[in-house]
Structure 1
Amino acid sequence: MKLLFFLFFITSFLPADEIALTIEITNIRHPKGTLRLGVFRQGNTFGSTYTKPDFGQMVAVTGKGEARTVMNLPPGRYALALYHDMNDNWKLDKNIVGYPKEPYGFSNNFHPVLSGPDFEDCAFEVKENGPCHLKIKLLH
């Protein structure tokens, strides 16, 4: 009963206008490290190395295959970028020419060829009538 009251008490302080975004990450090949997710609002400089995301989340990797997490976001247009920080050094390791050495992914499963994506390449909508679901395949 105490647990039920505690859960009700905590959820009563969540903003009513936030929508649950379920994010499913697939193609995890290394059972170690942390998935680091960044969600950017429209207007934020998405794709810039030094831009901080508007919302962030970390998910511990405990096995191969897939992982799932939920973020609560207000309705709007967003873009998501993530990487698998396999050595937990808090950065996306890159090779000498700047190509990622660690797995990464974007919303809409955008696959960059010669440069990083623009916001519109990865944009998705969180609607008031939610819920919202993304499935992202890690690129290696």
Structure 2
Amino acid sequence: MKTIAVLAAMLLGALVQAQTGTSGNISATVPNVSGTEGSVVFGLYSAETFMKAEPEFAVSADIIDGKAVAHFEDVPHGTYAILVMHDKNDNKKMDFDTNGMPLENYGSSGNGMSYGPPVWEDSKFDFDGTPKQLEIRF
């Protein structure tokens, strides 16, 4: 009987641990911010919201020694992408020149350096709830 109680306790512990592993924290760092004006805005997006709607999570980070760091907490497991922008004038939106070129630096979790907007397939990553750290370059 004692053995059954121990096995039941171990099974219950494993189930609780499996359920708590469904969300976790993601940290993202931009190590190459040029200039100290404004802040760096980070958005964590799903496939449904990427480049279409507000992010699931958003963080604005100060620039310290050319670097900005964001922490997303209690993120459910899933597939995400992070978009980042150096918001030099703190207006919380990307500013463009009259010819349509961005006036502020940006990047995505895929670190693709192509011309044009970020692409979901190049930016996405899977998140299983274990702590994740990403470096995103402008």
1:64 to partner: Cα distance: 3.7
1:47 to partner: Cα distance: 2.3
Contact 1:29 1:64 (C-alpha < 8 Å) held by counterparts: no
Amino acid at match of 2:66: G
1:78 to partner: Cα distance: 0.3
In the TM superposition, structure 1's runs of 4+ consecutive aligned residues that sit over 6 Å from their partners are none
| The one of 22, 25, 50 aligned to 1:46 | 50
Structure 1 102/64 Cα, relative in aligned 2: closer, same or farther at 3 Å? farther
SS at match of 1:65: coil
SS at match of 2:96: coil
2:123 aligns to what?
Answer: 122
Q: How many residues align?
A: 118
1:38 to partner: Cα distance: 1.0
Structure 1 107/88 Cα, relative in aligned 2: closer, same or farther at 3 Å? same
1:18 to partner: Cα distance: 2.0
Structure 1: runs of 5 or more not aligned: 1-15
C-alpha RMSD over aligned residues? 1.8
Counterpart-to-counterpart distance in 2, 1:36 and 1:30 = 15
1:31 aligns to what?
Answer: 36
| The one of 98, 113, 117 aligned to 2:100 | 98
1:133 aligns with 2:133: yes
TM-score for the superposition, normalised by structure 1: 0.76
TM-score for the superposition, normalised by structure 2: 0.77
* Correspondences of 1:81-96 after superposition (within 5 Å): 81-96=83-98
1:66 aligns to what?
Answer: 67
Counterpart-to-counterpart distance in 2, 1:19 and 1:31 = 30
Amino acid at match of 1:93: D
Report the structure number with the largest CA radius of gyration: 2
Deviations 1:55-98 (A, max 9, x none): 1111122x342122211211110011110111112221111221
Deviations 1:32-59 (A, max 9, x none): 21111111112x14224xx211111111
Contact 1:77 1:123 (C-alpha < 8 Å) held by counterparts: yes
1:21 to partner: Cα distance: 0.6
Greater share of helix = 2
Amino acid at match of 1:47: M
